[in-house]
Amino acid sequence: MLRPALSIGLVSATVLLGGVTLAGSASAEPGPAPAQSQAVKYPADSLRALGDRIGLRIGTAVNTDELGSNADYTRITAEQFSTVTPENVMKWQLVEPNRGTYDWAAADRLVAFAKKNKQLVRGHTLVWHSQLPTWLSSDGYTTTLSNDELKALLKKHIQDQVKHFRGDIWQWDVVNEAFDDDGQPRQDIWYKAWGGLGYIADAFRWAHEADPKALLFYNDYNLEFTGPKSNAVYDLVKTLKAQRVPIDGVGFQGHLDTQYGFPDLQNNLQRFADLGLKVAETEVDVRTFTQAPPNENTPTSPLAAYAQESYWSRALQACLAVRECISFTPWGFADTYSWIPGWFDDPQEGAALFYDGNLQPKSQYYVLQQDLALAAGAPHRSGPGAGRH
């Protein structure tokens, strides 16, 4: 087999030339805008353009502090992606920091950006134990509020938020991370208030009432690995379907790490899809050690980058192979803004995305580009969001 760097370089150069010719938008030459365009322009070799050809949306989590203020960040967000997810600004902590007062400003800006750039929005997230406002809970597991109060608050939160964005959200992550790592229901404030997992069905029903057209997702990490957690979520969503709860899909976060073996991702996507659900990869990143004891390889050695290229490629190909996998969303694109170094620091991990600190594409970018460029034979996605844009 050819070394990845060589073959990728060649494919990339070819596709890039195509981009200049076909789209006319990769050129830096000044001059009048082409007369024809009412459509948004993006390079023919961009991830979004390549995904278009099989109806697969390619997404990114967006840091709204950078959007608008950082020209390169903003341009890449518009050019490379056909769906965006707010990394933080739709979370309860951010939209209702003070009880009874909503702040939608940052999320509204992202929705407006997405419309302007013909992107769809993944809403993230309505029900979670984390990033709650402190007036509600400081840790997600304890609260001073009564069970009845919590039930009324969650209903109002879902109704108000979904109505605020009604018509503007393609997929909602209605419930996030309801199971712990062993596949046991997470004993958070919602579980305790309902005395079980009943809050999940209620949440989906309330969200559906507020925006019947949005696709409603359950979203979690480590579903990629066959095991107790993936099985528990599988049983849950199967039961929800049987009870006619309006759930449309399951999001596989896909926070991958080169120190663990690559998961059984395609089979897991497929078995959830076989329940009659859409699936999506919603928060993909591939972290690796960025500091290591002396004499061990670090990611500055090519070895870690090769492993990361392989993980990115396999993660994308798993989605490509499953017709019901409607979007592939990395959790950001640039290492500079990745959440990984701040969360996984003992030992220190990072380098989890595919643009470097100067917002230049890394080898991992070209792997994704190449896989999409070669995917003309993958099944074409169907349903809302799958068309050209």
- The CB-of-53 to ligand XIL minimum distance in angstroms stands at 29
Look up 177 and say whether it is catalytic: yes
Q: Given 79, 87, 96, 177, which residue is catalytic?
A: 177
Q: Annotate 26-83 with DSSP letters as a single string.
A: S-----PPPTT--SPP--TTSHHHHHHTTT-EEEEEE-TTTTTT-HHHHHHHHHH-SE
Q: Given 87, 96, 283, 349, which residue is catalytic?
A: 283
Q: Does 253 bind ligand XIL (CB under 6 A)?
A: yes
Q: Which of 52, 87, 248, 309 touches ligand XIL by CB under 6 A? A: 87
Question: Alpha-carbon distance 102 to 285, whole Å?
Answer: 31
Q: Does 349 bind ligand XIL (CB under 6 A)?
A: no
User: In degrees to the nearest 10, what's the CA dihedral of 228, 234, 239, 245?
Assistant: 130
- The CB-of-360 to ligand XIL minimum distance in angstroms stands at 22
Q: Which of 96, 224, 283, 335 touches ligand XIL by CB under 6 A? A: 283
Q: Which 366-385 residues touch ligand XIL, going by CB under 6 A?
A: none
Question: Alpha-carbon distance 364 to 374, whole Å?
Answer: 16
- The CB-of-177 to ligand XIL minimum distance in angstroms stands at 6
- The CB-of-34 to ligand XIL minimum distance in angstroms stands at 38
Q: Does 60 bind ligand XIL (CB under 6 A)?
A: no
Strands 215-220 and 255-257: unpaired
Contacts for 356 with CB less than 8 Å, ≥ 6 apart: 334, 335, 336, 362
Q: Does 337 bind ligand XIL (CB under 6 A)?
A: no
Q: Which of 80, 117, 176, 266 touches ligand XIL by CB under 6 A? A: 176
Q: Which of 88, 93, 226, 336 touches ligand XIL by CB under 6 A? A: 88
Of 180 and 386, CB closest to ligand XIL: 180
Q: Which residues pair with 361 in a beta bridge?
A: 355
Q: Does 285 bind ligand XIL (CB under 6 A)?
A: no
Structure tokens at 117: 């750039």
- The CB-of-88 to ligand XIL minimum distance in angstroms stands at 5
Structure tokens at 188: 């958070």
Structure tokens at 230: 């993936």
Q: Does 339 bind ligand XIL (CB under 6 A)?
A: yes
Of 312 and 366, CB closest to ligand XIL: 312
- Cβ-based burial of 347 (10 A; exposed 0-12, middle 13-18, buried ≥19): exposed
Of 340 and 378, CB closest to ligand XIL: 340
- The CB-of-246 to ligand XIL minimum distance in angstroms stands at 21
Structure tokens at 379: 């099944």
Element (H, E) at 15: helix 4-23
Strands 349-350 and 278-289: antiparallel
Of 26 and 352, CB closest to ligand XIL: 352
- The CB-of-337 to ligand XIL minimum distance in angstroms stands at 9
Look up 283 and say whether it is catalytic: yes
The pattern of x and - marking residues 116 through 155 that bind ligand XIL according to CB under 6 A reads ----------------------------------------
Question: Around Cβ 102, how many Cβ atoms within 10 Å?
Answer: 14
What are the DSSP E strand ranges found in the chain? 57-62, 83-86, 120-127, 171-176, 215-220, 249-252, 255-257, 278-289, 325-330, 349-350
User: Which residues of the shown chain bind ligand XIL in the complex (CB under 6 A)?
Assistant: 87-88, 176, 253, 283, 339
- Active-site positions read 177, 283
